[in-house]
């Protein structure tokens, strides 16, 4: 785990000057300075979706094999996903309020669906903390599988929102920006893996102390 943690730390340290200094300003933005938030917003959103997908896969393993390791992975990944999902929501709101005059978050489908998705995973942990230990893993697994249905809905909401979509030809990024965004995504993915690994290890220690 140590090499993973140090790799994540090194990648994130390198990402800071790349995103804040090296990356040129993107064209067609009204707020070029806050545009740099994308180097944190997009990777955070990707990691949140990845984390919730891992929770779903681990939950399926719990239902199939009743594996305690899978249950720990599901909970740890959901926990880290909530953190990154909250970062994505906050950074997206900061950018949108600077980029669009009269922006209202309550009228943005992307914000609404992401907020509902995060609320669902908060409920996931409420369930885990209020269910008897002998039933916790299976009930949490079922709920974890249901929650992941919100991930594609949140992603597809971008097409009904003012949220930029870099897959469209008219909104594609300069290749230099694209490379830095890709590097940022890799760095955040390493950070996610390191945090989940540490959280799983901490769960094992907590269980051993009972």
pLDDT tens-digit profile of 35-72? Answer: 788 899 999 999 999 999 999 999 999 999 888 999 99
**CA 154 → CA 31, 116, 161, 189, distances in Å?**
25, 9, 11, 19
Share of the chain above pLDDT 70, in %: 90
**pLDDT, position 8:** 95
Rounded to an integer, what distance in angstroms lies between the CA atom of residue 186 and that of residue 159? 25
CA 92: distance to chain centroid? 13
Inter-axis angle of helices 109-129 and 38-65, nearest 10: 40
In which band, very low, low, confident or very high, does the pLDDT at 198 lie, cut at 50, 70 and 90?
very high
**pLDDT, position 172:** 53
Q: Which residues contact 181 (CB under 8 A, 6 or more apart)?
A: 38, 39, 42, 43, 173
pTM, rounded to two decimals: 0.90
Share of the chain above pLDDT 90, in %: 57
Query: Computed from CA positions of residues 24, 26, 27, 28, in that sequence, does the dihedral angle turn out positive or negative?
Result: negative
pLDDT tens sequence across 157-193: 877 777 665 555 455 566 778 888 899 999 999 999 9
Nearest to 76 by CA among 144, 134, 8, 139: 144
Rounded to an integer, what distance in angstroms lies between the CA atom of residue 81 and that of residue 151? 12
- 188 touches 44 (CB < 8 A): yes
Is the pLDDT at 23 greater than 60? The verdict is yes
Rounded to an integer, what distance in angstroms lies between the CA atom of residue 142 and that of residue 123? 13
């Amino acid at each position: 785990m140590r090499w993973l943690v140090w790799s994540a730390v090194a990648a994130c340290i390198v990402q800071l000057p790349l995103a804040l200094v090296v990356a040129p300003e993107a064209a067609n933005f009204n707020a070029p300075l806050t545009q740099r938030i994308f180097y944190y917003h997009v990777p955070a959103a990707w990691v949140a979706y990845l984390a919730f997908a891992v929770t779903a896969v681990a939950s399926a393993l719990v239902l199939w094999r009743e594996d305690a390791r899978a249950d720990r992975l599901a909970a740890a990944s959901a926990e880290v996903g909530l953190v990154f999902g909250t970062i994505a929501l906050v950074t997206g709101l900061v950018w949108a309020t600077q980029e669009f005059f009269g922006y209202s978050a309550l009228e943005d489908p992307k914000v609404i669906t992401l907020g509902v998705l995060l609320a669902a995973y908060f409920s996931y942990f409420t369930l885990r903390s209020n269910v008897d230990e002998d039933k916790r893993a299976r009930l949490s697994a079922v709920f974890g599988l249901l929650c992941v249905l919100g991930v594609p809905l949140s992603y597809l909401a971008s097409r009904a929102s003012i949220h930029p979509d870099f897959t469209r030809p008219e909104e594609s990024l300069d290749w230099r920006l694209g490379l830095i965004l890709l590097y940022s995504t890799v760095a955040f993915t390493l950070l996610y893996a390191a945090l989940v690994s540490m959280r799983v290890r901490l769960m094992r220690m907590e269980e051993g102390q009972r």
